[in-house]
Each structure stands twice: as structure tokens, then as C-alpha cells.
Amino acid sequence: MMKYKLFPKLEDVFVKVTDAHRVVFFPLLTIDLKSINKGEGELHFISYFRDGEDDIISDLNFSYNFMRFKMVGNKYQFDGDFNKVHLFEKSKEWYKEAKEIYQEHREKYLVNSNFVKEEDQKRKEIDFDYYYYIKGILNYWITRDKYLETGKFIQGGAYTYGNSNHERTVAEDVGSYDEYCGGYPDEILEEVLDELKIDFKDLSYIGTVAGYNYVDFGADKIMLFKNGDSEVFQYYNWS
């Protein structure tokens, strides 16, 4: 049986956590590898604010549809340039604002209220990315905190917007890429790996989660691979 932890703390996922990590990365799920017959240790699924839709790779550690981390024991090290992350400078300010909103108005985000709809509309009229980031991070915190409170994995939109309150699936698949995806990378993943000079045969597939179950700006599919003994590769499918 798979052993896992939902919403691990950043400090349990990354070495040397900085404010930049808090702005960019949103830990979703930690899996005990031994429990799925994938060796020893733990690996983590990470979501992040989507890096545009540009297929030009300006940093070999990330783009809008992939992310790479160095493995340091059971933690990750990000060697990319945060300043190249899409809207990073603006996101730092948006994160501060979201934190203040959550501290002051959290209870209003736990009910389907006009307050939230009016706040969303106000931000959307100013800038869509501004609206989308703050809405997403508040959704992540609500989903996480209600799970930690109740033990039920229900998407935060059920509380804030009256969306479906069914319990979500922790993972779409673990352990068998052959059965889940037919054994071959899709066309976009193949192109990414070619550009990064990574051989698909060298990757060990860990599993797939639906990112939007955890945070509403999460990818449709986040696929996690282990690349040798020193690197983790995540592929984000936005289909």
C-alpha cells in the first residue's frame, strides 16, 4: 500500500528554503518510494505558478511544462534562476498581499460569499495574472488547511465558490508508466527531453497527480520521474 503525505511543508521538501521558494513552489504530495517498489527514500510532487506558454527553454532547470531538482537526501535543491520565473518580481508582491488577505479574511473564503466574488472581479479588472495568482494561492491554502483540519481531501473551491465537494484522488497513477501511458512519452514530453538531452529510457517513472485537485492553477497532469540517483524531473501537461 502506498505511503504518502499530502501538503508537506516546504522545509520538508527543500534544502535552504528562502522567500523565493515560498512564492514559486507549492508542495502537493510526498511519496514513500519503498511503498511503491521504487527504491528507498521520498520524492515530492511540486506545483508552481505556470510559467507562461513559451516553449523556448531559457533555463535548463525549468520552463512552463517541466521542472528539474537536484536530490539531496529526501529533499530537493533548485538550481534554476528565480529571476527567470514568469512574473517572479510581481509574484513576490502578490504573495505578500495574499498572505495578508488570508490572515484577515480567511473565514470569508470558507463560504460561498459575495465578498470573494467582488474581490476576484476587482483584481481581474486590474490584471488577469494578478487575479489568477492570488486566487490560486488562496485556493491552495484553503485546500491544504481544510485537509489538515478534517482529513478529507476536498478541493478548496468547494468551500469558497460552492463547487463540487467530492473527495479528490491523491494520485492518478503510481509506479507503472507502461500501463498508464502506453510506455512512451507524448510528443511534447519527447521534444522537451530531446532539448534537455535526457534519454527517456534513463527515467524511472514515479507517478502522476492532477495538480488542479490541490491548487486551481495546477497542471492537469504532473508526472514525476527520477533521473538516475541525483535528479528529479517533473513534466507538466496542460492539456
* Domain spans in the chain, listed from the N-terminal domain onward: 4-85+168-237, 88-160
Tell me what pLDDT residue 214 has: 98
Predicted structure pTM score: 0.94
DSSP 24-67: HEEEEEEEEGGGGTS-SSEEEEEEE---TT----SBTTEETTEE
Tell me what pLDDT residue 55 has: 63
Tell me what pLDDT residue 175 has: 81
239 residues of the chain, pLDDT tens digit each: 899 999 999 999 999 999 999 999 999 999 999 999 999 999 999 999 875 566 667 789 998 899 999 999 999 999 999 998 889 999 999 999 999 999 999 999 999 989 999 999 999 999 999 999 999 999 999 999 999 999 999 999 999 999 999 999 999 988 877 766 777 788 889 999 999 999 998 999 999 999 999 999 999 999 999 999 899 999 999 87
